[in-house]
Amino acid sequence: MARVGIYPGSFDPLTSGHANIVERSLQFFDTVIVAVLKHPEKRAMFTPEERSELIAEVFADEPRVEVDHFGGLLVDYVRSRGATAVIRGLRAVQDFEYEFQMTMMNRRLAPDIDTIFMMTDEEHFYIASRTVKEVARLGGTIDGLVPPSVAHAMFGKLGREG
């Protein structure tokens, strides 16, 4: 039986920290599904479809990574994809507090689905999608903070060269 892990998030945009979690998750899962959350209340730079396309482009050479998008309850989506685990990346204590609360609610809703927490590599601890967007909007460099194709797409959205 294939081990399938779901890595959910908004990924607006996918950062180098997110990519690091995906790559390292492949050590534990046969397939990692990067599941882009459709969050209607969030003001996003990219549509869920655009985010999915960017992520697929970043992992084009890795056949064990699938990209999808979903709305609704995560546990329902996890079951629909035949997965048994949710992958969550952590950077700092405040991430843990939020993720712990979400994990306990998911466990209440679906006790058979586990959550795997992974610390991002040290060089990515400070990277947050929100901060990367702000730096890009203010004209700063985002080299190394996001994959090159994502940086190119961000600068395209902002109407300038990267």
Peptide bond just before 13 cis, omega within 30 deg: yes
Question: What six digits make up the tokens of 28?
Answer: 């534990």
* Active-site choice (16, 25, 52, 129): 129
Task: Give the SS3 label for residue 11.
Answer: coil
Q: Give the H or E element holding residue 34.
A: strand 31-37
- Which amino acid, 98? Y
129 is catalytic: yes
* Active-site choice (18, 51, 69, 133): 18
* Active-site choice (38, 64, 81, 91): 91
What 8-state DSSP symbol labels residue 51? H
91 is catalytic: yes
Q: Provide the annotated active-site residues.
A: 18, 42, 91, 129
